[in-house]
Amino acid sequence: MSHVRIEGLTKRFAGKPPAVAVDDLSLEIEPGEFIVLLGPSGCGKTTTLRCLAGLETPDEGRISLGDQMVLDVRGKVNLPPNKRRIGMVFQSYALWPHMTVRRNIGYPLRTRRVAREQARRRIDEAAELVDCAALLDRYPAQLSGGQQQRVALARGLAAQPDLVLFDEPLSNLDARLRDQVRAQLHELHARLGFTAVFVTHDQSEALALGDRLAIMKAGRIEQLDTPERVFEEPATEYVAGFIGMSNRLPLRRQGTGWILAGGPGTNEQTGEASSSGGASRPVADELPVPRSHSEIAVRLRPDDLRLCPAEEKPPAHGVALAAEVVDAQFGGRHMDVVVAIADSRLHAQAPLTGKPWARSLARGQRVTAWFAKDAALYYDADGARATAHAPAAAVGA
Ligand SMILES: Nc1ncnc2c1ncn2[C@@H]1O[C@H](COP(=O)(O)OP(=O)(O)OP(=O)(O)O)[C@@H](O)[C@H]1O
């Protein structure tokens, strides 16, 4: 276990235009901590991981693992991968096809010149850990996807590295196996306490595994926080959108209330909540937003957007909007419903238990969509929290 310190890491790639894949990124990781780098494709997750592994030559920055300085661009230090006490587990498993499972797991031990007897013991232990002891004499082609990934996991852990790097290791597995291997990895981390950096673009994976999440945007960390804080208090609209608040509703202040900030002509589509004689009807009176803001974006999770029949009165404490059903799919205990509200398309999860009405929802149906004011988060035009309460701090943004 090692304390990991990344300072001012920058990596540019030549090209037209040149890409700044990692942009002055700093991060401290506590010994035994499980850090997840989360973000959309191209935000620099993999490049950060490759810089940690020694597979890239960064343009700026320093990285230390425990008391070992493995990168110092100005000091001209950049230790090769086999000189860093790091284990790696990739999305593609990257098992050697011509080697048995035993030789695959033992590979990092051979590159570190671990004595034969000790290596044999470590391989057995690692295989035992991930439930692969019975597979040691097989070749990768004789294994299922889940077994291959468990072998890759054993190989990443076999040398008892200070730091284990994971690059989307679960994304090639089918949904059921992904859950299984994820649970196994979580348990292994709790038992062994290795320090980990795990790259993913899957928010549920990040929430489940991370002690802390670093949400990345354009080579930088937009928010660094516990899963609970990132989930409940996304510091920026970008983070909110990425962590499941997929619904976005733009509102504009008008008089003492708020109107939908849709484009021209959109109000006819939604009837009730729309304009009459050119002036839009307010959809909400007071919202927990400072007076200085005149344009905001409301962010909301699908299960916080409720639906009720158009003729029914929604609760008075909520924000009610006239909506039209675009699509409704059966989801077991709920319906997944897409509704149009002015220019916006929003997703609702309408529970079926005790509300069989939702089962009959169909395209073209007029409904009322509503949400509780405190279930939503509010962001200003720059994507920062627009809240009357103290906003969560953005780190490194
Ligand atoms: N070898 C390379 N040459 C040129 N540009 C690169 C190279 N590797 C990465 N990039 C660019 O650097 C940026 C960050 O890429 P990176 O692979 O780190 O993102 P990522 O967040 O891991 O994405 P993904 O989830 O798709 O793997 C992207 O704009 C990418 O196009």
Whether the CB of 44 sits within 6 Å of ligand 1: yes
How many other C-beta atoms can be found within 10 angstroms of the C-beta atom of residue 52?
Answer: 26
Average pLDDT of the segment spanning 292-313: 93
The residues spanned by each domain of the chain are: 4-242, 247-379
Q: What is the average pLDDT across 122-137?
A: 89
Q: Which residues of 331-365 are buried (b: 16+ CB within 10 A; e: fewer)?
A: eeebbebbbbbbbbebbbbbeeeeeeebeebeeeb
pLDDT at 1: 64
What number does the ligand 1 atom closest to the CA of 48 have? 18
Report the percentage of the chain scoring pLDDT > 90.
63
- pLDDT at position 262, please? 66
What is the dotted CATH code of the domain comprising 4-242?
A: 3.40.50.300
Q: Give every CB contact of residue 63 below 8 A, 6+ residues apart in sequence.
A: 4, 5, 6, 7, 9, 51, 52, 69, 70, 71
Section 295-323 average pLDDT = 92
pLDDT tier for residue 114 given thresholds of 50, 70 and 90:
confident
Q: Where are the alpha helices (DSSP H) in the chain?
A: 45-53, 101-111, 116-129, 145-158, 175-192, 203-209, 227-232, 237-242, 267-270
How confident is residue 397, by pLDDT bands cut at 50, 70 and 90? very low
Q: Specify whether the CB–CB gap between 222 and 216 falls below 8 A.
A: yes
DSSP code string of 105-128: HHHHHHHTT--HHHHHHHHHHHHH
**pLDDT band of 280, cuts 50, 70, 90:** low
| CA 199 to ligand 1 centroid distance, Å | 13
Kindly report the protein residue whose alpha carbon is nearest to atom 7 of ligand 1: 13
Give the C-alpha separation, 361 to 367, whole Å. Answer: 9
Beta-bridged to residue 197, according to DSSP, are: 35, 165
* CB-ligand 1 contact for 46 (6 Å cutoff): yes
Does 47 sit in the ligand 1 pocket, CB within 6 Å? yes
Round the average pLDDT of the chain to a whole number and report it.
88
pLDDT of residue 16: 84
| CATH for the stretch 247-379 | 2.40.50.100
Ligand 1: residue of 45, 48, 49, 172 to mutate (most ligand atoms within 8 A of CB) is 45
CA distance 106 to 397: 41
Look at residue 321 in the predicted model and tell me its pLDDT: 92
The residue whose C-alpha atom lies closest to atom 24 belonging to ligand 1 is: 41
As a whole number of angstroms, the distance between CA 127 and CA 384 comes to 47
Residue 279 reports pLDDT greater than 90: no
Q: Give tens-digit pLDDT for 34-87.
A: 999 999 999 999 999 999 999 999 999 999 999 999 999 999 999 998 889 899
Terminal-residue alpha carbon distance, the chain: 29
* Position 100 confidence tier, pLDDT thresholds 50, 70, 90: very high
**Angstrom distance (rounded) from CA 76 to CA 373:** 54
| Mean predicted confidence (pLDDT) in 282-293 | 85
Q: Which of 9, 10, 12, 13 has most ligand 1 atoms within 8 Å of CB, for mutation?
A: 13
Does the pLDDT at position 395 exceed 50?
no
Regarding the beta carbon of 9 and ligand 1, being less than 6 Å apart is answered no
Task: State the distance from the centre of ligand 1 to the C-alpha of 42, rounded, in angstroms.
Answer: 5
Quick one: what percent of the chain has pLDDT higher than 70?
Answer: 92
**pLDDT tens digits for range 170-201:** 887 788 878 888 898 898 899 888 999 999 99
DSSP, collapsed to helix, strand or coil, labels residue 257 as strand
Query: What distance in angstroms lies between residue 258's CA and the mean position of ligand 1's atoms?
Result: 41
pLDDT (tens digit per residue) in 334-358: 999 999 998 899 999 999 987 788 9
> Of 220-234, 235-249, 313-327, where does mean pLDDT reach its minimum?
313-327
Distance of CA 209 from the midpoint of ligand 1 (Å): 23
State residue 191's pLDDT score: 87
Which token pair is 18? 């040149």
Using DSSP's 3-state secondary structure scheme, residue 43 falls into coil
Closest residue by Cα to residue 214 from 21, 397, 24: 397
Query: Does 278 have pLDDT greater than 90?
Result: no
For the residues 19-28, what does the mean pLDDT come to? 96
